[in-house]
Amino acid sequence: MAKNEGQVAIKKYANRRLYNTGTSTYVTLEDLAEMVKKGEDFTVQDAKSGDDITHSVLTQIIFEQESKTGNTLLPISFLRQLITYYGDQMQMVVPSFLEHSMRAFTEQQTQMREQVTRAFGETPLTKNLQLPMQMVEDQVRRNTEMFQQAMQMFSPFKAPATAAKESRKAEAKDIDELKEQLRALQSKLDSL
């Protein structure tokens, strides 16, 4: 797809087709996902009303990615906790917190890839290397603790023990899965 300067407008028609005004072609949600991965900036507008529907289309892309790949990024415990904040006084704080957390995570991942590349050189393994699990585990723990502290600051009387237990169980499961992935990665590095 051609990349235009600035933001590309995508028009969504009543028949659910998406039209890229920058390339004058019809596109799919998968094409839009690729544009996001390439860093291309776009907005999606309802072709009839002109309303900006970018948020709902991006949400739809996430839904499709989560359901078709089998490799979910959003754990069930996270989704449940997120749902509880809709309509809550915390609803206004959550988006900026999540945005900040994702930005920090991306920066740490970039730094780690650079360090591994400097240590091991440019190999196919280092190009596709994920963060070592200990760093991921530490970051997940810190982010979760910060998020819980922030939530308690704004709603000190609302701390359901059951939800906290479920969240800790889900976190432990996620951490165990990350540790297993680290062991597999360490085995690959050892075999090199």
pLDDT tens-digit series, residues 32-83: 999 999 989 999 999 999 999 999 999 999 988 888 867 788 888 888 888 8
The answer to whether 49 touches 12, Cβ cutoff 8 Å, is no
Q: What pLDDT shows up at residue 119?
A: 75
pTM of this prediction exceeds 0.75: no
Give the mean pLDDT of 150-170: 60
Question: CB count, 10 Å around CB of 181?
Answer: 15
3-state SS of the chain is CCCCCCCEEEEECCCCCEEECCCCEEECHHHHHHHHHCCCCEEEEECCCCCECHHHHHHHHHHHHHHHHCCCCCCHHHHHHHHHCCCCHHHHCHHHHHHHHHHHHHHHHHHHHHHHHHHHCCCHHHHCCCCCHHHHHHHHHHHHHHHHHHHHHHCCCCCCHHHHHHHHHHHHHHHHHHHHHHHHHHHHHHHC
Banded model confidence at residue 104, pLDDT cuts 50, 70, 90? confident
How many angstroms separate the CA atoms of 17 and 84, rounded?
33
**Rounded Cα–Cα distance for residues 27 and 16 (Å):** 11
| Predicted confidence (pLDDT) at residue 181 exceeds the cutoff of 80 | no
Percentage of the chain beyond pLDDT 70 is 70
Q: pLDDT tens across 108-139, in order? A: 888 877 777 777 766 655 555 544 555 656 66
* pLDDT at position 26 over 80: yes
Locate the domains of the chain by residue range. Answer: 8-69, 76-191
Average pLDDT over residues 164-189: 71
Mean pLDDT on 101-106: 86
